[in-house]
A and B are shown apart, each in its own frame.
Chain A
Amino acid sequence: MSLDPASSCIIYLKERSFEMLKKDLIFRNPLRLMGYETEDILPEGGFGAVLARAGVGKTAFVVQLALNSLLRNKNVLHISLNDPVEKVCLWYKEVFRNIASQYKLDQIDRLWETILPLRLIMTFKVDGFSVPKLKERLADITEQNIFSPHMILIDNCPFEEDAAQALTELKSMALQNKQHIWFTVRTHRHENTDSEEIPPRIKPVSELFDAIIQLQPRDKVIYVKNLKKTPAAPKKTMLFLDPTTMLIKGKK
């Protein structure tokens, strides 16, 4: 009968090591190297944009941002405007598996199970997406206490000419609900992605953004550049994406 206290002790150690594993992953996350002061990079109501040409790794990048939030027990709403739910799920699985194998983690399945309920995916057709619609959908889930996101990702946002008004509306919603929003924006070859300039499509609304990150493929490496020079932004970013795993790495 004296076994019981011993076995409960084992549970305690295991749980502790599990929490430590999560903390360890958060600590090792190279995004910290970007040097932003808040853990989320963005403040409440803040906007961030990830710009790159097609196929460079925008989704993989934001999925890593999302996983980082999920590990800190924060809800993430992933809105995809071009991929079906299953494909988005695959992105998460793949990136998570890569992170796990990079750090040689055990208990991956358990960790995965714990973060999964914190994520919700919504997909819309690009032309069927609008801010009022998103607000309606969000109200559907938050009012019933089904899910209230802390971070929202809008993958493949079209950024059309009249984006300013929609973005302002989104911003006030995010501020009110204490959320922050990341966008991925596809740039085009003619938009000269090598320069340090903010592309013309984003420029008119760049004031609304706290971080604008560009992924620049050069010499078989994808560099992560911060185009927005605000006082809060770190002076120099030393990050790149590993083109095989699409994982963010700090430069040695």
Chain B
Amino acid sequence: MAINTQNVRNIGISAHIDSGKTTLTERILFYTERIHAIHDVKGKDGVGATMDSMELEKERGITIASAATSCKWKNHEINIIDTPGHVDFTIEVERSLRVLDGAILVLCSVGGVQSQSITVDQQMKRYKVPCIAFINKCDRNGANPDRVTSQLRDKLGHNAVAMQIPIGIEADLQGVVDLVTMKAIYFNGENGEVLRMEDIPEALLDQATQKREKLIDAASMFSDELMEAALEESVSVDLLMDAVRKGTLSRQLTPVFIGSAYKNKGVQPLLDAVNKLLPDPGEVENIALDMDHNEKPVTLNSSTDDPTVALAFKLEDGQYGQLTYIRVYQGTINKGDTVINVRTGKKIKIGRVVQMHANQMEEIESIPAGFIGALFGIDCASGDTFVSPGTNVSMTSMFVPNPVISLAITPNDNKSQVNMSKALNRFCKEDPTFRTYVDAETKETIIEGMGELHLEVYIERMLREYNAEVTSGNPRVAYRETITRKAEFNYTHKKQTGGSGQYGRVAGYLEPIDDEDFSFENKVTGGSIPTQYISSCEKGFKQCMAKGPKMEFPVTGIKVVINDGASHAVDSSEMAFQAAARGAFLEGYARAGSVIREPIMKVAVETPTEFQGVVMGLLNQRRGMIVGSQEEGPLCVIEALVPLAEMFGYSTVLRSSSQGKAQFTMEFSSYKKVPQSISEELVKKAAANKKNVA
């Protein structure tokens, strides 16, 4: 593996669903001689694309988890992260964007800038990832690269500039004209692997000259030399490329390439552009969080001699155990090194180091800064940071949102039960927002996650990858109980049923708090409750938090203060005080104005303006509070806060009422009190359920 990072590119390929990014990756792998035959997504040969190694992905024709692969093109090493395109997997997308230095934004020449392109573009903006655009599917009916380029300007605000024009269009697409070298490029051979350079056809010469002038105009903003050369009409290829590169790296210019991956046209020039225009790892500033100084951002040095900092961005369960994809930001990870996992603080010895190519691998000795590779036999979770001993920085914040939706799953047979637990164990490690536990009362396995589709995909993966057949219940919202006002308690637990008795009195008050789930304060003076029983009191109160007296939802946001009590020399015990605390909690809770709280989601719907009214109406019907609407050209984004309980099945309704043109994203915002009428309904439902169980 080359240490010279100037010849390394870590890139991602992001796009709207079905823009053909996996097909493009497949072609890239073919031309870089990583694979020797082309298999199409949903292809007739039934093999599926190389990057879609997960069976489910092959069947549905979508990429769910990002796979990393590396290839070589003209002396440059290109590591490609294939990112998922669906909105529900944004954690994956964001995690991969963290690892990239540059990206290819794939757009469909017919569909143009679609809503997911906008989401992906915003994420790229957030992580300051420079990108080049590739307008794919130029062989399709209705293809219009010019329109897509202007959409890039209008809808995404990119300073998009054409680097090529097509020779022929739609079914007649033959090749492209490179506006930098002013040559026509044709793609010959069975799979378009032979490039034939010729003079520009007469008919396109004028158009090409005009577009080249536009390109020079745009690029000269980033280079005075180019501007001078343009005035003297002596623009050289290198000068022009340098200026375009400067613009691209600063994200102020987006060069646009065109072609058709499926028809094997335009892929090789795109690879040249990746080499020439996208940054090498040394040119990108990487920020880590200093854990010793309250997550203060620190800039990493991409030198291989400094202490190691690496991020595990993806896990996979292979036949030889867990495979951990990592990106090294600083220093080098060598076989046999010892590193520390910042999250757990555990020391880890690096065993096998490999370089991945979709689902094949190649053993290597080390991964230097700037490279992407994989480790074997490391026990860690996705998003963990590995550092050299003595360093304490983390690449990701330790904050992980709590799951908002849960589902009960029951294995269909014994075999499935074993497989299910294996699958759950792995999913939890892979995805910090996915959790699982066994309900103590119903003995059901509960899975929790961030959305309906999130859980659905995991259930399907269980079946496909682990052969675990499960039956799932209805999705349940994670309601919480809390109190709204201060209330006092003074409870005596007294029992004399033969043998030694039980005695304990606990007095104090409960009050609502915002920033913590539970807090306990001991203000007992004069030993009215002996010190050795205080912890029993706390334990008793804590036990009550798991299941609220009102609706049996977990109780949050309560501060318990005890300030008085009584004990008995013989009859008081830890058990007695725990029971007294439980009684005291119930007594106080009944007076404290308890309410049920529900998760509220921040929903952003992106819709063409003509559907704005309909979308707002839909949100309003779902108890949504519309925060605002933002018009951006022909599209508008409506932001609203909507209870999660009302969001089930929303995507279907939204699609059908907007001719499929509106899309939405949602994320957890906060917990809020459930309105009285809904709360009553919940109580009724719970009572009915209890009856059924009985």
Contact = CB atoms under 8 A, between A and B. Distances in A.
Interface string B605-635: 0000000110011001000011111111100
A85 B485 contact: no
B413 interface: no
B340 to A, nearest CB: 38
Contacts of A122: 628-631
A144 B617 CA distance: 7
A116 B641 CA distance: 11
B507 to A, nearest CB: 16
B616 A141 contact: yes
Contacts of A89: 627-628
B514 A109 contact: yes
Interface centre among B485, B617, B627 (most CB of A within 10 A): B627
B639 interface: yes
Interface residues of A, number: 29
A147 B613 CA distance: 11
Interface string B652-694: 0000000000000000000010000000000000000000000
A123 interface: yes
B591 interface: yes
A36 B626 CA distance: 32
B631 A125 contact: yes
B593 interface: yes
Nearest to A8: B593
Contacts of A85: 627-630, 637, 639
Contacts of B639: 85
A3 B488 CA distance: 12
Contacts of A11: 593
A176 interface: no
B591 A144 contact: no
Contacts of B616: 140-141, 144, 146
A120 interface: yes
Nearest to B619: A146
A95 interface: no
A26 to B, nearest CB: 23
Interface in B580-621: 590-591, 593, 612-613, 616-617, 620
Contact of A117 (B613, B625, B629, B632): B625
A165 B459 CA distance: 61
Contacts of A55: none
Interface range on chain B: under 10, 10 to 19, 20 to 34, or 35 or more?
Answer: 20 to 34
A124 interface: yes
Nearest to A10: B485
Nearest to B591: A7
Contacts of B591: 3, 7
Interface in A1-47: 3, 7, 10-11, 14
Contacts of B625: 116-117
A128 interface: yes
A88 interface: yes
Given A3-B591, A10-B485, A144 B629 contact: no
A96 to B, nearest CB: 15
A164 interface: no
Interface in B631-647: 631-633, 637, 639
A93 to B, nearest CB: 12
B628 A121 contact: yes
Contacts of A147: 626
B630 A144 contact: no
A139 B485 CA distance: 42
Interface in A142-177: 143-144, 146-147
Nearest to B673: A113
A149 to B, nearest CB: 12
B615 to A, nearest CB: 9
A143 B625 CA distance: 17
A152 to B, nearest CB: 14
A16 to B, nearest CB: 14
A84 interface: yes
Interface centre among B593, B612, B630 (most CB of A within 10 A): B630
Nearest to A124: B631
A11 B631 CA distance: 43
B633 A125 contact: yes
A89 B631 CA distance: 16
Contacts of A116: 625
Contacts of B633: 125, 128
A84 B612 CA distance: 17
A123 B628 contact: yes
A178 interface: no
B630 to A, nearest CB: 5
Nearest to A89: B627
A123 B629 contact: yes
A116 B616 CA distance: 17
A121 B627 contact: yes
A251 interface: no
Contacts of B627: 85, 89, 120-121
A113 B629 CA distance: 20
Contacts of B590: 3
A137 interface: yes
B612 A140 contact: yes
Contacts of B672: 113
Nearest to B637: A85
A213 to B, nearest CB: 25
A125 B632 contact: yes
B377 to A, nearest CB: 45
B122 to A, nearest CB: 12
Contacts of A125: 631-633
Contacts of A146: 616-617, 620, 626
Interface string A94-137: 00000000000000010001001100111111001000000001
A73 to B, nearest CB: 15
A146 B622 CA distance: 12
Interface string B452-489: 00000000000000000000000000000000010000
Nearest to A147: B626
Nearest to A85: B628
Interface in A30-89: 78, 84-85, 88-89
Interface centre among A122, A124, A125 (most CB of B within 10 A): A122
A80 B632 CA distance: 13
Contact of A144 (B514, B620, B632): B620
B634 to A, nearest CB: 10
Interface in B301-315: none
Nearest to B632: A125
A117 B672 CA distance: 13
Nearest to B486: A10
A141 B628 contact: no
Nearest to A88: B628
Contacts of A141: 613, 616
Given A122-B628, A141-B613, 19 more contacts: A3-B591, A7-B593, A14-B485, A84-B630, A85-B639, A88-B628, A113-B672, A116-B625, A121-B627, A121-B628, A122-B630, A123-B629, A124-B631, A125-B633, A139-B613, A140-B612, A140-B616, A141-B616, A146-B617
In order of increasing CB-CB distance, the 8 nearest A-B pairs are A121-B628, A140-B613, A85-B628, A123-B630, A144-B617, A146-B620, A124-B631, A85-B630
18 contacts: A3-B590, A7-B593, A11-B593, A14-B485, A78-B628, A85-B628, A85-B637, A89-B627, A113-B672, A122-B628, A125-B632, A137-B629, A140-B612, A143-B613, A144-B616, A144-B617, A144-B620, A146-B616
